[in-house]
Amino acid sequence: MRRAPQAAILTAIVCVSFASIFIRWSGSPALTIALYRMGFATVILSPFLATAKGAQLRALTPRDYGLLAAVGLALAAHFATWILSLQLVDVATSVVIVTSHPILVAIASHFAFHERVSRGTAVGVALGFGGVVLIAFAQSGRGPNPLLGSLLAFLGAICAGAYLLAGRRLRPRVDLAPYAVNVYAFATLFLVAFSVVTGTALVVTSDFWREMGLFLLLALVSQVGGHTLYNYALRHVSATAVSTSLLGEPVGASLLAFLLLGEIPGCGTGGVCPSATTYLVLVGSALALAGIYVTARESLRGTPPEPHGPGPASP
């Protein structure tokens, strides 16, 4: 069992890394992509509610559903703010800011859940975040509104941290299926609201079947295979470990972009490759992966204390 969360996190890193590839292949607006991703994931996981204990479902209180709705709002807001930030600032800056949540989560976990941040965990967080900073430095540029884009990315980081912290609070006493289905359903509803407010199309009118196929892949691979496995791990390891593991996404996405899209960091059309930027990205990726390994190893050294919350933990 001790290795199961580690395997889940490694699998999740690979799955979420495919998200940027699927998004690049899609021609739909960002919010439309996020909306269908969450909607399809909700439908795919709904049949698994049959595996949940009926007594546990009946035991969920209005306050529990309120917390699940809050987690869904945090997830929807994370997608909305981060995707919008990508339209206003360069990708590297957006990524480094939005992946600052391990620091926020580590601090909040220490005070809220009494999950002690060991020296090894702190080193892992610092290594991982330092690697992403190096990647951002190597590829940094400009955007149409860097200040607003950076602010939106930071809000995305706060929302991602809230999503993971709230999940760490709820998962020990709510089975994976009802937790994921409820959170994803609430996130879908909030994304519908965001789309209506911003005037984003809710219906795909061009390349319908191609777009639906990409949305389905996003839901199956990146959401169910990625975020749902992260939610599974939240029951067994600290929120800090799961949060730090998300630093693997830009690393995995860069590798997949090279393999599937032929993109090499720092190499423009007709440029000389590999460039100095390429080597900086490789070093940053190595640091990020080292940070993930150190943090995961520290988390798996012993069973972390369960967060204090009402109700017994389900098996």
**What is the DSSP track for 78-117?**
HHHHHHHHTTTS-HHHHHHHHTTHHHHHHHHHHHHT----
The tokens for 205 are: 């009118």
Work out the average pLDDT over 67-87: 86
Per-residue pLDDT tens digits for 92-123: 566 667 776 666 666 666 655 555 667 776 77
Residue 145, pLDDT > 60, answer yes
Residue among 155, 296, 308 nearest 239 (CA): 296
The pLDDT score that the predictor gives to residue 216 is 96
Cβ–Cβ < 8 Å for 24, 259: no
pLDDT higher than 60, residue 245: yes
Alpha-carbon distance 157 to 253, whole Å? Answer: 18
- Residue spans of the domains in the chain: they are 3-299
The mean of the pLDDT values for the chain is: 75
Q: Flag whether pLDDT at 226 surpasses 80.
A: yes
Return the closest-CA partner of residue 300 out of 103, 10, 88. 10
Nearest to 299 by CA among 6, 16, 13: 6
Q: Measured between alpha carbons, how far is 189 from 183 in angstroms, rounded to an integer? A: 10
Which has more pLDDT, 297 or 18? Answer: 18
Integer-rounded Cα Rg, in Å, for the chain is 19
The model's pLDDT over 282-293, given as tens digits with 9 standing for 90+, comes to 777 677 777 766
Percent pLDDT > 90 in the chain is 17
Number of H helices, E strands in the chain: 15, 0
DSSP string, 155-212: HHHHHHHHHHHHHHHHGGGS-HHHHHHHHHHHHHHHHHHHHHHHT--SS--SSHHHHH
Model pLDDT, residue 227: 82
| pLDDT tens, position by position, 146-196 | 668 778 878 888 888 888 888 777 777 788 888 889 999 999 999 999 999
pLDDT for 54 equals 59
61-92 as b/e: b if 16+ CB within 10 A: eeebeebbbbbbbbbbbbbbbbbbbbebbbbb
Q: Which residue has the higher pLDDT, 105 or 266?
A: 105
How far, in Å, are 37, 215, 286 from residue 179 at the CA level? 17, 22, 34
Contact 127, 294 (CB under 8 A): yes
CB 173, CB 312: distance < 8 Å: yes
What are the angstrom distances between the C-alpha of 181 and each of 130, 224, 313? 34, 10, 19
Residue-wise pLDDT for 193-224, tens only, equals 999 998 888 888 788 999 999 999 999 998 99
Residue 85 vs residue 116, higher pLDDT: 85
Q: Residue 235's pLDDT is what?
A: 76
φ and ψ at residue 201, rounded to 5 degrees: -65, 135
Residue carrying the six token digits 């204090």: 308
**pLDDT tens figures, 22-47:** 887 888 888 898 999 999 999 999 98
Residue 239, pLDDT score: 66
* pLDDT the model gives residue 206: 83
Peptide bond into 274 cis (omega under 30): yes
Q: What is the pLDDT of residue 144?
A: 64
pLDDT at 244 over 80: no
Confidence of residue 310 (pLDDT cuts 50, 70, 90): very low
Contacts of 110 (CB under 8 A, 6+ apart): 116, 117
pLDDT number for residue 209? 93
Q: What is the pLDDT of residue 268?
A: 45
270 DSSP assignment:
T
